[in-house]
Every structure is written in C-alpha cells, then in structure tokens.
Structure 1
C-alpha cells in the first residue's frame, strides 16, 4: 500500500475518533435499527424521515488541525492548461531603495524592520555638513535678495521723482537681479539635495535647530524590508540603507518548457501554489513573456502579477504555476484532491456552509483531468468557493459521523 495512502488512512482513523457526533452534527441517509422498527409500525421510513444535507461542523480548533484551504474555483478547461515551475519575487515597481543625496551621519533611526510606513514618513534623522553649508548660503542669498529688492524699489521711486539719476537706478536694478539669481541658485542646490519648495521656504536661521539636520523620508508606502543603519554611522550619497517594499502585489517568474512556449502571451490567468503553503492558491495574470528562450535550459521566461493583500506570500518562495491558455471557460477547475468519492461512485466536493465551521458535501459531475486539476461540469460554478485542501479529512469526518449515526441508538 503506498505510503501516502497509509498516512491518509491514519488521519481518517484519527478523525473518526476525534470528531464525534457531539462536534459534528449531521444528518445521514442510513437508517438506524430503531428507525427500522418504527418503519414497520408507521409505514414507509423514507416518506416520513427525509435526510438533511450532509454537513460537517468543525470547531475552530479542529479546523486549525485540519489546515483546510478555501479558494474560489477558476474558470477554464483542464486540457488547455500549462504548468511551470515558478518563483516569487518583489514587484520592482513597488520597491524603494532609500538613502541620502549627500554625505551625512545618522543621528537617530525612526523606522525598524517590519514597520509599515506611508509615503513621506521619516525613516531616520541625519546630519550633513554639506547641507548645513548649503542652507547657510541660501539664507545669506535670501537676505541679500531682500535688501537689493528693497533698495531697487526705493530708488525706482526716487528716479520717478527725478531725485536720482538713471545711472543710479540702473545700478540698483542690476544688483537686484544679481541677488535674485544668487538666491535661486542656492535654492536649486537645496532641491538637488531633496528639499521641497515648502521646506526651503521654511528654513529659519533664527532657531536653535541645526541647519545640518534633515529627515530621510520614504517615497513609497510599504513595509521596511531592509535597514542597514545605526546611530552614528556615516553614509555617502551612493548608500541606500533602507528598502521599503509594497508587498500587496508580487511578481511570479515562470519557466515554461519549449514545447508550450508558443501558447504563452500576456493577459492569461495564472494560479500559483507554493511549497511553503500547500493547498493555498494565489490568482494572477501574466503581464510579460520573453521574446527568446534560455539558451541552456531551453525554457521561456514569463512573468505574472499575483495578489498578495493577505501577506502570505514571500519573495523567494518556489512553487508551481498553472496557466489557463485558451478554450471556452465554462467549467470550474479544482485540484484533483478536492474531489472525493462517497459510497461506490458518487463524487463530491466540500463547500463552506451557512454557519462558521460548517462544510457541506455537494455531489458533482466531473470532466477532463490534467496537470493536477479536474473540471467540475455540474455542481460548482466558476468563482464559487470550494475546499481545495483538506477535503480527504472532511470526507473521513463525514463518513465516520454517518457510521456513528447508523449505530448510535
């Protein structure tokens, strides 16, 4: 007997004892001995006692032990799918490497690994001699500009009254324009260092705050993935000690065999299953397909973007991607393990019930099977929720409950 089947039977025997009628209330179609005696006195048993839907009820603890996975069934046909090894990576458009634009020293660190930050939040407070000098130069240029502007306005009035000569007015105008240009140049240097116009206007030399201090801010919202700084560390303009990543969407890189390469194109639905999270499937869509094969492996590289709003996926995970290439998409596709056999030939799947912890067995008609997935042609529609991992254990609980009901009087 295969080892995997032995392990499944062991789980089934465990749950047959652990999930009793006290925790798995369900109606079953089998009649008890007491029901049979009542049927002799009161007529047909079937006409008076209709079986209720077959449902397994689990407590939160039991559900955690079973490690069930529930996903929406994608649409497609089993024969029009491609499976390929895949690895998860950060979406490069959602990654920010953050560092200063000039040499500086770390005063304090304001954000740590794993912290969630919004755009503009402070990651660290830095101190830069070059920035302090640039701010001082700007303050000087701003003061000269204010003085030259006032002088020019005053002399323009005097010239209108013919109190001063045109030459004196022209000299005042030239000094004003020179001071204005110097102030603008000093402001442009500060912008190169990352200061906004509002921050430049707010520079004040009359306070005790050092002109050399500035905040290192994140340009993107996300999670702090890397932090390579401590207080007192010196940084250059090339250093990027912080990495902020938005992990709500991730890239999945597929390696498609040469024989399937012609069917790949952007816009195809992708279902991803990773080794670290067995039974869980993540949905996405291809957005790029390489124009050339890998010379050594003879595989075609394709990229898909998958949703990761629950944060379960992590960069570096490996798994298998299933791509729906074409064909009419009228069937719900589920993993082959999601379909169980009840009795001699009845095929069932489990779907969430109306109550928390309830799972209902639904009879289905299946179609083609390929690449670990099988078509559900009756009993489940594309987009419906279905138990994709743990169906065997639910089946064990259902059948053990039925046996208990049949012999528990």
Structure 2
C-alpha cells in the first residue's frame, strides 16, 4: 500500500475516540511494531476486575470469620462483661464430660469410688452382673439371700416368649451416672422408688366374641303338621324343662288316639277268646287255640305299634291303665294326653277335640326366638321356638399363631367386652389344631359362667389368657426401664448415697431381663432385688447423660 494511502487513513481515523483509534492502529500496525497500547489496555482491565472482586471477597472472609467464631464459642454470644474486658475467670474444677466438678468425678478418678466387681455375662439369666448369682452386687446394706422360689420364678418366666435376654456384648452396665449434689438431682426432676414385690400376671391377648353355648341351645317345632290352637310362651320368658310352649291341633294325633282305642279293644277281645279256648281245651282242636294265640299276638303288636307312633310325637300313653278302662273312659284319658292339669280345664271348656299335640321344651332356659302366632298353620320343618340356657356362654378367641404355643386347656381367661368396665373370668376348654389360612390366627374357646345373665350373645371384646401368675414377683414402675437397643437397663441408686453430704451421688446402670407388664409395673425376671432404689420419674435425664457420655461409641463397644 502506498504511503499516501496510509496517511489518508490515519487522518480519517483522527476523528474517532482514542480507544477505537488505538485499536485500529494496532490492527493496521506492521509486524514488529513496538507500540505499548495493547499492554496498557490489559492492565486497566485487570485493575478493574480486581477492584470489582474486593467486595465479594470481603463478604466471604466475613462469613468465614463468623463460622470460626461460632465453632470455638459453641455458638454462644459473649457476655457484655467479656466484651468490656471485665469477665470473671472460669472455674477450672469442672468435668464437662460427666457434668460434675472434676474434683469429685468418680469416673475420672475411680479412687473416689471404686467400681463394683465385674462378673460379666450370666448365660443362665441373660444379663450382666447377675444379682441372682451374685447378690453381693445389690445396692443394699446387707447381702440378701436368694430363695429357691425366686430362682424357680425366674426359670418359669424365662421360658415365656415375652422374656428376651440382653446382648452379651453390651457394655453399658459398666457405666455410672453422677450428680454434683442431692439438690442437683431434685432440680433435674429425678424421682426414685423402692423395688418391691407385687402380684403379676403374664397373659396372651386376643380379640374374641361371646356366643351362646350350642350344647345348651335347642330349637322346637311341632312334631306333626297342624294349626296352632294356643301359644303359651313368648319371647324372653324363662321356661323349665317339660313346660308346654304351644298347643297344636293335629289331625294325625286324633287318628292315632282312635286307632289305639280300637287296637286295645281288639286286644281285649282276642285275650278273652284265648281264655275261653283254654278252658274248653279238650273240646276244641289244638289248631283253633294256636290261631287264637296268633290273633292275640297280632292285636298286641298293633297296640305297641300305635303306642310307639304316639311316643314319637311326644305322647306317652299308659297302655296297662288304658286296657283296664272302658272305651269311653279310655277316650277321655287320651283326649288330654300330654296336656298339663293347669291347661285341661280351659281346653275342655272351649273345645271337645282330641287332636291336641303339645310342643314342650326339653331344656330349661330363656326363649330367645319365637316364630309362631295363634291360628297359624305349621309343619315339622319349621322351628317355632329357640331356647337357650344362658347360665354358661362360649368365648371364641382369635390368638396369634406365635403366641398360642404357651396356651393350654384349663388356663384362666379374663374377658372384657367392648364398652364394659368389668371383666369376666372363664377357662380355656378347647384349642384348635389348625390356623386360619388368611389371618394366621388360631381359635381358642373358653367357657364363661353367666349366673346373672349379664353376658350377651355376639358381644365383642378382648380376652387375656393367663399363662403365668406370680403372687410375689419383683417389679418396678414401667417408666424406670429403658432400652438401649441391645439391652434393657434401670438406674439403681448407690447404697452409700446418703452416708454423708460428701458421698458421691451416683446411679449405677444395671442390665435387667424383663417379664410381664401389668397396671403400670414391669416384672424384673433378673437384674434387681427387693429393697434396692431405682430412678423412676425423670430417669430420662440419666439416660440422656448416658447417651452423651457414650456418644459415638455405641451400646456394645467399650468406651
């Protein structure tokens, strides 16, 4: 490019801003030019970037300082005195780990209170430092004697499914919880109670339904077709065995009574004929006597056949008595057959029929169903009354398959109906040999006495089958027991707690094996003894301290 052209371009660019001119000049500069304009522009950009980054960097540094301050001060605001430089020096005699002055901390200085001997795991009772085998470990002034009854109670309780042993690797039992003073215990809200003996029942529960006892239930129908002439009893009436419930006028009954009178007459005639032939035995052929005997036997058979048919209907004719009466007298006697004397006068005054068939109750009980009215036509297939002896009821329980193994015939059952505040005592008398394919429940039947008739059919509720009864079980309030995942523990107060004001205020962590629960108390199968003192209300404070001391170690790892 000619020199004149280059000079013309530079003159044209002279009217542009300096930055643009510089840019173009750098672009059109020949190779090897030593101009400094690009370096000056880059430096300005770096300076501008750094200036813009100062603010965010300061903010980040401020946050970092704030977090560092919070970390080293446990996020607590300093007191005004500290800010002004007038703060009092901190007390160095304090154990943050155990929450007591370090000078009296028995965990930091075991010489202040040596730990009790460690006998380790008791495989027989499933706990550590078992006081049943080592009663000297009990926090009592005198070493107690362990009776054979307590050992037998523990063995029986451990055979039950509710009693689970602890984890043999758990080391929580080695710990102790200490307070600075008695006042500190009171301020923490910790209360204590004595370990005592009390009655305990171990039960298995199941939902149940009360039913009428089928062996004490009966339905009654007319034994012959006919029409109901009178209904003597109604729903809710109590009847005794043999009482008449209703009178049915049945044609079949009248026919049988008439046939019986004829058969009795024929029998009497044939008997007289035989007697005459026997008197004239030499004057008649023996064949005629044989024929007369055969006719007499046939007449007797007819009488017995008709009498049996009447027995099938519930009528019991006195054949010998009827045979001594005339036909008219026999008819009058048969007319009121089966009808009580209290009803005969009213029946005789109203009708002259001999077709009456009484419907009687064969059991004593209450009428729970009545399905008949006066004048109604009935047959043998239709039940007219249902009577139940309610003095005894059935309880059908549904028990989980895993719990039924401990249930046996003869065990007591406590049943409480829904909406009722009272319990009924019964007894197991049958256990099903199969389980329901859908619910995996096993039916257990119990007999419930109901002398006052308070129980109702189709009543639902909960039944408790008593597996074990202990009159002198060792028990503690349920709030005293805590679970640490692999073991169950209570906090036992040291026996020297009140020896002097300087005595360490210590609670020992004791692993326990649990039994039954009843009315707010938990049975201790093994682990504590009567007379020891355990923390109850507020014992969560001790548990929290226990968790704090062992934070990160785990229940089954040494500290």
Q: Give the TM-score range, shorter chain.
A: 0.5 to 0.7
Q: Which residue of the partner structure matches residue 237 of structure 2?
A: 115
- Within 2, Cα distance between the matches of 1:243 and 1:373? 46
Instruction: Write out aligned runs for 1:117-156 (5 A).
Output: 117-156=239-278
On the 8 A contact 2:307/2:316 being kept in 1, the answer is no
Q: Distance in 2 between matches of 1:166 and 1:300?
A: 76
CA distance in 1, matches of 2:320, 2:519: 61
**C-alpha contact (below 8 Å) 1:88/1:250 kept by paired residues:** yes
What does the per-residue CA deviation read over 1:199-235, in whole Å, with 9 as the maximum and x for residues that have no partner?
Answer: 9967932467422102110000001111000011111
Query: Are the equivalent residues in 2 in contact too, given 1:331–1:375 (CA < 8 A)?
Result: no
Partner Cα separation in structure 2 for residue 166 and residue 292 of structure 1: 73
> How many Å separate the matches in 1 of 2:216 and 2:425?
19
Q: How many residues align?
A: 265
Aligned to 1:90: 212
Instruction: Name the residue aligned to 1:273.
Output: 416
Q: Distance in 2 between matches of 1:238 and 1:76?
A: 56
- Aligned equivalents of 2:319, 2:407: Cα separation in 1: 50
Map of 2:298 onto structure 1: 178
The gaps in structure 1 that reach 5 residues or longer are 1-74, 337-366, 378-409
Q: Are residues 169 and 76 of structure 1, via their aligned partners in 2, closer, same or farther at CA, if it must alter by over 3 Å?
A: farther
Go from structure 1 to structure 2 and tell me whether the alpha carbon gap of 1:180 and 1:322 turns closer, same or farther (over 3 Å shift). Answer: same
The residue correspondences of 1:10-409 to structure 2 (distance < 5 A) are 77-78=200-201, 80-159=202-281, 162-198=282-318, 204-206=330-332, 209-277=352-420, 279-325=421-467, 327-330=468-471, 370=517
Query: Gapped runs of 5+ residues in structure 2?
Result: 1-197, 323-328, 336-347, 478-513, 525-559
Q: 1:281 to 1:115 in 2, by over 3 A?
A: same
Alpha-carbon distance between aligned partners in 2 of 1:196 and 1:375, rounded to the nearest angstrom:
66
The answer (yes or no) to whether the contact 1:99–1:216 under 8 Å persists in 2 is: yes
Task: Tell me the CA shift for residue 298 of structure 1.
Answer: 0.9
| Distance across 2 between alignment mates of 1:151 and 1:292 | 70
- Note if contact 2:391-2:453 (Cα within 8 Å) is conserved in structure 1: yes
Distance (Å, rounded) in 2 between the aligned partners of 1:112 and 1:247:
17
Task: Give the conservation status (yes or no) of the 8 Å contact 1:109–1:125.
Answer: yes
Answer whether contact 1:108 1:124 (CA < 8 A) is retained: yes
Give the structure-2-normalised TM-score.
Answer: 0.44
- Secondary structure of 1:85's partner? strand
Return the alpha-carbon distance in structure 2 between the equivalents of residues 148 and 331 of structure 1: 84
Provide the alpha-carbon RMSD of the alignment.
2.7
Q: CA deviation at 1:370?
A: 2.5
Give the structure 2 partner of residue 399 of structure 1: none
Distance change (3 Å), C-alpha of 1:215 and 1:155: same
For residue 197 of structure 1, report the CA deviation from its aligned partner. Answer: 4.6
Secondary structure at the aligned position of 1:309 is classed as coil
Distance of 2:276 and 2:199 partners within structure 1: 81
Could you say which residue in structure 2 is the equivalent of 1:12? none
Decide whether the 8 Å contact of 1:269 with 1:286 is kept in 2. yes
Q: Check 1:368–1:157 CA distance in 2 against 1; reply closer, same or farther (3 A cut).
A: same
Structure 1 pair 318–76 and aligned structure 2 pair: CA distance change class (3 A) = farther
Q: Determine which structure has greater relative contact order: mean sequence separation of CA pairs < 8 Å that are 6+ residues apart, divided by chain length.
A: 1
